[in-house]
């Protein structure tokens, strides 16, 4: 009896379209949101290194000196942790799986020229700010030193100055 049942299923399968995809002859289809591989937008990355710190398999290397961002795709477990933690939202997850390879390669990406300029400009501004801050501290110390003799017993103290 049940063999007849299964014959029905088999006949149906014979005349319906295949349940599988002919990958790699045809393109593979992915769901929306499939965790395929990591892509970094080198126009937005600031090489802060958060992704490197957060990656559980240490697949990412950030080289601030050489201005490169590298990933070892065969160490990456597509967990999305780096994407969730990137402060500049420069990382994203593409749907397609990593291409097969014959060796465990590393992929290096250099910052785009524009981003290099942006970072250089930011660095310059930061340096200026640091310099200004240093000058301000220096001035404060000098002033404090000048104020000190005033605190000596006998001298006329200026109570307002200490607060400045």
Partner 1 sequence: MAGKRSVIPFGPQHPVLPEPIHIDLITEDEKVVEAVPSIGFVHRGLEQLVTKKDFGEMVYVAERICGICSFGHGYGYVNAIEHIMDIHPTDRARFIRTMLFELSRMHSHILWLGLMADAFGFESLFMETWKYREKILDMLEAATGGRVIFSIIRIGGLRKDVPDEVMQGFLPELDKVVEGIKSCEKVFLSDPAVLSRLKGIGYLSKEDAIALGCEGPFLRASGVDTDNRMRGYAAYSSVDFDIITSDEGDSYARCYVRIQEIYQSASIIRQCIEKMPKEGIYVPIKGFPNGEYMTVIEQPRGGACYYVHSSGRKFIERMRVRTPTFANIPALTKTLQGCDVADVPILVVTIDPCISCTER
Indicate whether 37 belongs to the interface with partner 1 (CB under 8 A).
no
Contact status: 42 vs ligand SF4 (CB under 6 A):
no
Rounded Cα–Cα distance for residues 45 and 69 (Å): 9
Nearer to partner 1, 18 or 87 (CB): 18
| 40 bridge partner residues | 91
- The verdict on 32 binding partner 1 (CB under 8 A) reads yes
Whose CA is closest to 75, among 58, 52, 63, 61? 58
Interface with ligand SF4, residue 40, by CB under 6 A:
yes
Token pair recorded at residue 146: 């000048």
Binding residues among 84-113 for ligand SF4 as defined by CB under 6 A: 86, 88, 90-91
Whose CA is closest to 96, among 16, 5, 24, 153? 24
Contacts with partner 1, residue ranges (CB under 8 A): 1-3, 5-6, 9-10, 13, 19, 31-35, 56, 77-80, 84, 93
């Amino acid at each position: 009896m049940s063999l007849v049942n299964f014959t029905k299923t088999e006949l149906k399968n014979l005349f319906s379209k295949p349940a599988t995809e002919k990958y790699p002859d045809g393109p593979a289809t992915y769901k929306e949101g499939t965790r395929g591989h990591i892509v970094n937008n080198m126009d937005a990355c600031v090489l802060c290194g958060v992704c490197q710190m957060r990656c559980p398999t240490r697949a990412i290397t950030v080289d601030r000196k050489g201005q490169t961002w590298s990933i070892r795709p065969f160490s990456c477990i597509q967990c999305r942790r780096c994407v969730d933690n990137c402060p500049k939202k420069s990382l994203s997850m593409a749907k397609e799986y990593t291409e097969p390879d014959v060796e465990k390669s590393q992929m290096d990406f250099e910052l785009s020229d524009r981003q290099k300029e942006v970072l250089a400009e930011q660095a310059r501004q930061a340096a200026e700010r640091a310099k200004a801050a240093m000058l301000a501290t220096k001035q404060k110390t000098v002033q404090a030193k000048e104020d000190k003799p005033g605190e000596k017993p006998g001298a006329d103290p200026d109570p307002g100055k200490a607060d400045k």
